[in-house]
Amino acid sequence: MNITEIKSELIGDSYFKINHPSGLTIYVYPKEGYKSSYAIFGTKYGSINTCFSVDEGEKITVPDGIAHYLEHKLFESEDGDAFVRYAKTGANANAYTSFEKTCYLFSCTDKFDESLEILLDFVQDPYFTAQTVAKEQGIIGQEIKMYDDSPDWRVMFNMLGGMYKNHPVKIDIAGTVESIAQITAEKLYEIYNVFYNLNNMVLCVSGNVTVEQVIKTADKMLKTSEKHNIKNYFEDESYEICEPYVEQNFPVSMPLFNLGFKEKADEILNAEKLAQTDILLSMIASQTSTLYRSLMDANLINNTFSYELFEGPGYCSVIFGGESRAPKQATEMIKQYICKIKADGLERSDFEIAQKAVYGDIVSSLNSVSSISNTIADYHFCGNELFSYIEAVSKTTFNDVSKRLSEMLDVNNCTLSVVKQAENEV
């Protein structure tokens, strides 16, 4: 077993990386003086991984929504529901499926070891039958309809559909009623045995814990896995968007918009590029930015306005969005501002404010045990590391960010998605 201490001289903190003999990578971030603990157990398998091969074998294609379906079913066992077991330890448990990963988690202030045993037990112990799988189709079918009735969900996926022609990121994480009807117990076991291999997974623990107690539980619960070569396949995706504008009528009190700039997605951004991008976006659209104040003064946005870098295997975009009485006008102002700073250059004073803000946000997040574990897990799956990112933020220069601006935010390669009342003027 290999245990490495990862230190940050910059912030004077450290955590531990454990390469467990089972094949699982474990991170432990002890927080002295904290009463709560948090653990997240995730696999690098999400909604976009619908076509893959194992050990250079034949391509396997599975139905859309099967990763999310599996997440639901994994809580069940012959002995009952994992949530019932958690109720006895007092832990607060949950799970989620995203585009590129599936994670199971809990937080607690007591009986951490027992709760960690439950987590490692049920995630490693699948139980699927034809009857239980069929029963879940109705439940998830209702969930899909609920998402279809969510304006926030629809405005995002309509935008992704306008940006991406082939990449499965445009497909709803839960799939469709038709696609989940194709899911069987055999298919669930097939993908479980491929992607829920401990070599493809990570466990991140933080808070009132020690390395020794996590290793003790891991040694007791983990089943050794043979490593396999998993290859995911995605159809070629051009740089160009498909549709510049997508609209859907919805009974909303105010229109919603998502403006997505499709970026090149040759590779996942490393810590340096990620830091540069985060600082740039803070300069452009944070609440202290010129653009934000201009949009607010024009009554084109409210405090729901947000921005994010949205990236994963084979996809990357920058998204601005929120409520707006006039989404097209807001979009035009955003695009004009981007053109202006590309032509005239960025302000050094804006850079200094944004760099301090991004640095302050990531360092302050280390006061939250859930933020620590979630971020470490995210970075693990994309080949980055928490302290390397913090250091990259501190070392990013004004010229780095100016160069980054020249590489992205093409105003001729963006999609505006709007959800509004049928009678509203946009």
Q: Which residues are catalytic?
A: 71
**Cα 221 to chain centroid, rounded:** 27
Asked whether 26 and 203 are in contact (CB, 8 A), the reply is: yes
Q: Say if residues 381 and 101 touch (Cβ distance below 8 Å).
A: yes
Q: Comparing C-alpha atoms, which of 11, 10, 9, 44 is closest to residue 25?
A: 44
CA–CA distance, 323 with 90 (Å, rounded to integer): 39
| Residue type present at position 334 | I
Measured on CA atoms in the order 288, 290, 294, 295, is the torsion positive or negative? negative
Instruction: Name the residue type at position 156.
Output: M
Report whether 401 contacts 279 (CB < 8 A).
Answer: yes
The residue among 287, 305, 281, 294 whose CA lies nearest residue 355 is 281
List the one residue out of 246, 280, 286 whose CA is nearest residue 263: 280
Hey, what are 124's tokens? 């490693």
DSSP assigned state of 108: E
